[in-house]
């Protein structure tokens, strides 16, 4: 490692940067060296730091934070400042712990037009908003790989809705709620051939220039219930749309997207996409888009996408397949879309709390350009264009630029704000967080992070009203920060105190898989609404047994239907006979408990699905097709009472 770093430092700066980006090497902060102690700074060792994150036993954290799981397809919930893991919410992946995606009720959540896809790459959680502030109602997240947007209900901390995004590939640029969740916006990373004529999409790759397009999806959110609906898409030029963020205040009607591959190279070999000196920041007026949509500018094309929802009353997911999608073409909608030149291969785009400044982080750029929304509006009014690209006006760089943050560090990725006039940018290559002033764009502080930070997050730091006390750096590389655990180490997050002039390192905590981004919210906006159990008399599951006397076993052809109840500490029925090899046995287990935190588990020997974990008042179903005759024990898997171990029974399977 040492030699690599030296090599990188002595190489020409640009080459070093590219090499470091390519290898993921850690190029330490140019201005500071940590003396090789793995970054155990005096701050981190001080009792100040310890007491700042200490939450006494039995006390609650001040904030909930929601960290994306990246390639595990889940969201993990941590308390801050303690860094304690509170929960893992499965979204796009099956979760053996509670049967999500395994039991009959939730399987439909993971259905897509490609079939059952029980995994995804989840990057960006975004909390729902009211008047530009987080409101603690829902969490929207994206599935990158098989384009999907999901909604987690923060009353139950469970995934209640997953919608596939048509005309998309690599749903990275997603999901971005507007200031009152009017829309959740999702954009494509990969442009793809869009089969507007209903073709198969089988198009030669060298037809990129002519045939490929990206899409920006406008998902409507029901203001009361949160239900999503794909209203329309804008079919945009075939760049790759990387990240987005919405405006606020004066810029509230706008949403901004970083794009790369704007020369449409098609393949990315030899960083082919980075030949242009500049790529673009795309600005879309979403309110105007909605107006054009209403005024009849919409076209329609065939589509095929799944929309999966958990029914509130039966607690069962249902899939609907949608066959059409409506779209706008930017070339037919003047004033709706503009391009702003941005440093090549830009990554993060972040809008400050006032809504006036748009900060673009170019991974390969040596400065951070800050655009002014007021100047952008003037430039549009005065037609300060630098030509056009695919029929979309390109604004003159100088006409929209407020200024540049000079020499911020290497590899700027993402910026968040503290609401006190400061911005904080993550530097992937020089592995640090850099604080600078929005007023004069001067760097005022920097702190090394371990190692190679991706996103950073300030609670509410992407909203109108940040809670600017803490910053969480989500680091890509862990190395020597923890006891070695073989070739793979847990990714590391670091909590930094940003309440003073100087940033202070408080805490390292391991994360679940790879958090790309996170959100956090004061606990008082979420905790009071948290559901403690489901009301049994509201359980409308068709196979629910709401009292023990309703439990029974019936046979329909080769289906054996077991309506079962669980309550501390027995199942009814607990001894089942009459099952034959090859039957499909459906255990519909209703948890009769009406108390907080008393789930029961249910598992059968040899059943090749997961167990299922049934919340109080709910019904869940384990499907089992026994392959051989025998006597099969079944039992409760969650230690629920002193007699938990006695919560068991047998199923007898006879030869056919």
Residues near ligand CUK (CB under 6 A): 123-124, 172, 243, 347, 413-414, 454-455, 516-517
CB of residue 653 to ligand CUA, shortest distance in Å: 23
Report 567-586 residues binding ligand CUA (CB under 6 A). Answer: 569
What does 221-244 look like in DSSP terms, one character per residue?
A: E-TTT--EEEEEEEEEESSEEEEE
In 511-558, which ranges are E strands? 518-522, 552-556
Nearer to ligand CUK, 110 or 244 (CB): 244
Residue 313's SS3 state is coil
Smallest gap from Cβ 566 to ligand CUA, in A, equals 6
| Nearer of residues 133 and 565 to ligand CUA, judged by Cβ | 565
Q: What does the DSSP assignment read for 410-473?
A: SSEEEEEE-SSSEEEEEETTTTEEEEEETTT--EEEEEE-TT-EEEEE-TTTTSSS--TTEEEE
Residue 93 vs 144, nearer CB to ligand CUK? 144
Among 54, 116, 596, 639, binds ligand CUA (CB under 6 A): 639
Contacted by 455, from ligand CUA, ligand CUK, none: CB < 5 to 8 Å by type:
ligand CUK
Pairing of strands 392-395, 401-406: unpaired
Question: Using the rule CB under 6 A, which residue among 358, 473, 585, 647 binds ligand CUA?
Answer: 647
> H/E element holding 475?
strand 470-475
Looking at 20-28, 245-253, 305-313, 636-644, which segment touches ligand CUA (CB under 6 A)?
636-644
DSSP 132-180: TEEEEEEEEEEETTTTEEEEEETTTTEEEEEEE-TT-SS--EEEEE-TT
User: How are beta strands 299-310 and 158-164 bridged, if at all?
Assistant: antiparallel
Task: For the CB of residue 569, give the shortest distance to ligand CUA in the complex, in Å.
Answer: 6
Selection from ligand CUK, ligand CUA, none that 365 binds (CB < 5 to 8 A by kind) is none
- Shortest distance in whole angstroms from residue 301 CB to ligand CUK: 28
Of the listed pieces 93-101, 520-528, 544-552, 637-645, which binds ligand CUA according to CB under 6 A? 637-645
CB of 230 to ligand CUA, least distance (A): 41
Q: Is 589 in the site for ligand CUA (CB under 6 A)?
A: no
Q: How far is the CB of 414 from ligand CUK (least distance, A)?
A: 6
d(CA 512, CA 626): 35
- Phi-psi group of 375: left, alpha or beta (phi > 0 → left; psi -120 to 50 → alpha; rest → beta): alpha
Q: Which residues contact 143 (CB under 8 A, 6 or more apart)?
A: 73, 91, 92, 120, 121, 122, 149, 150, 162, 171
- In the complex with ligand CUK, which residue's Cβ is closer, 414 or 481? 414
Residue 595 to residue 572: CA distance in whole angstroms: 19
Residue 307 or 588 having the CB closest to ligand CUA = 588
Three-class secondary structure of residue 650 per DSSP? strand
**Quick one: which of 636, 649, 651, 653 contacts ligand CUA (CB under 6 A)?**
636
Q: Tell the burial category of 506 from Cβ atoms under 10 Å away from its Cβ (0-12, 13-18, 19+).
A: buried
Question: Taking the complex as a whole, how short is the minimal distance between the CB of residue 145 and ligand CUK, in angstroms?
Answer: 12
Q: Which residues contact 398 (CB under 8 A, 6 or more apart)?
A: none
Choose among ligand CUK, ligand CUA, none what residue 124 binds, the Cβ cut-off being 5 to 8 Å by kind. Answer: ligand CUK
- What stretch of H or E contains 398? helix 397-400
Given the complex with ligand CUK, which of 306 and 517 has the nearer CB atom? 517
Nearer residue to ligand CUA within complex by CB, 312 or 570: 570
Determine, following the binding rule CB under 6 A, whether residue 221 of this chain makes contact with ligand CUA: no
Binding to ligand CUA by CB under 6 A, coded x per residue (else -) over 523-562, reads ----------------------------------------
Q: For binding to ligand CUA (CB under 6 A), which residues are involved?
A: 569, 600, 636, 638-640, 644, 647
């Amino acid at each position: 490692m040492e030699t690599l770093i030296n090599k990188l430092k002595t190489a020409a700066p640009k080459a070093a940067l590219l090499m470091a980006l390519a290898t993921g090497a850690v190029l330490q902060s140019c201005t500071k060296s940590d003396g090789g102690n793995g970054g155990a700074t005096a701050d981190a060792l001080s009792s100040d730091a310890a007491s700042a994150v200490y939450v006494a036993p039995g006390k609650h954290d001040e904030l909930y934070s929601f960290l994306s799981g990246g390639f595990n397809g889940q969201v993990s919930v941590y308390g801050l400042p303690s860094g304690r893991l509170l929960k893992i919410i499965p979204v796009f992946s099956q979760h053996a712990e509670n049967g999500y995606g395994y039991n009959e009720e939730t399987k439909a959540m993971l259905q897509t037009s490609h079939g059952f896809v029980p995994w995804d790459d989840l990057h960006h959680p975004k909390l729902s908003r009211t008047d530009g502030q987080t409101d603690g109602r829902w969490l929207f997240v994206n599935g990158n790989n098989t384009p999907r947007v999901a909604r987690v209900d923060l009353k139950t901390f469970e995934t209640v809705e997953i919608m596939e995004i048509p005309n998309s590939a690599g749903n990275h640029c997603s999901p971005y709620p507007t200031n009152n969740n009017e829309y959740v916006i999702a954009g494509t990373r990969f442009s793809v051939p869009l089969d507007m004529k209903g073709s198969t999409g089988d198009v030669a790759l060298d037809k990129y220039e002519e045939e490929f397009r990206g899409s920006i999806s406008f998902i409507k959110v029901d203001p009361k219930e949160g239900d999503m609906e794909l209203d329309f898409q804008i079919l945009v030029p075939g760049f790759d749309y990387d990240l987005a963020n919405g405006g606020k205040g004066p810029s509230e009607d706008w949403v901004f997207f970083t794009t790369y591959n704007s020369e449409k190279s098609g393949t990315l070999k030899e960083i082919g996409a980075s030949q242009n000196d500049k790529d673009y920041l795309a600005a879309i007026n979403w309110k105007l888009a909605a107006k054009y949509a209403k005024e009849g500018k919409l076209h329609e094309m065939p589509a095929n996408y799944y929309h999966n929802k958990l029914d509130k009353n039966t607690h069962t997911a249902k899939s609907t397949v949608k066959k059409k999608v409506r779209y706008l073409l930017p070339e037919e909608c003047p004033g709706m879309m503009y391009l702003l030149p941005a440093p090549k291969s830009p990554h993060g785009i972040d809008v400050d709390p006032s809504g006036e400044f748009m900060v673009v982080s170019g991974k390969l750029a040596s400065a951070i350009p800050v655009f002014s929304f007021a100047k952008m509006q003037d430039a549009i009014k005065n037609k300060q264009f630098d030509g056009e690209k695919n029929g979309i006006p390109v604004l003159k760089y100088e006409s929209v630029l407020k200024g540049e943050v000079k020499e911020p560090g290497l590899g700027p990725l993402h910026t968040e704000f503290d609401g006190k006039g400061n911005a904080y940018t993550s530097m992937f290559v020089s592995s640090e967080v850099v604080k600078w002033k929005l007023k004069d764009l001067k760097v005022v502080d920097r702190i090394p992070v371990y190692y190679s930070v991706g996103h950073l997050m300030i609670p509410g730091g992407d909203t109108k009203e940040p809670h600017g006390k803490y910053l969480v750096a989500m680091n890509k590389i862990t190395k020597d920060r923890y006891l070695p655990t073989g070739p793979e180490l847990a990714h590391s997050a670091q909590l930094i105190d940003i309440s003073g002039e100087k940033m202070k390192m408080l805490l390292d905590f391991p994360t679940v898989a790879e958090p790309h981004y996170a959100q956090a919210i004061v606990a008082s906006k979420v905790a009071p609404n948290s559901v403690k159990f489901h009301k049994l008399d509201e359980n409308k599951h068709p196979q629910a047994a709401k009292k023990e006397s309703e439990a029974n076993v019936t046979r329909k052809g080769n289906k054996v239907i077991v309506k079962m109840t669980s309550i501390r500490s027995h199942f009814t029925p607990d001894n089942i006979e009459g099952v034959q090899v090859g039957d499909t046995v459906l255990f519909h287990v209703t948890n009769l408990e009406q108390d907080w935190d008393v789930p029961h588990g249910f598992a059968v020997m040899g059943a090749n699905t997961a167990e299922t974990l049934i919340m109080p008042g709910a019904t869940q179903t384990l499907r089992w097709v026994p392959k051989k005759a025998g006597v099969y024990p079944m039992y409760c898997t969650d230690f629920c009472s002193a007699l938990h171990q006695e919560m068991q029974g047998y199923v007898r399977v006879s030869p056919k």
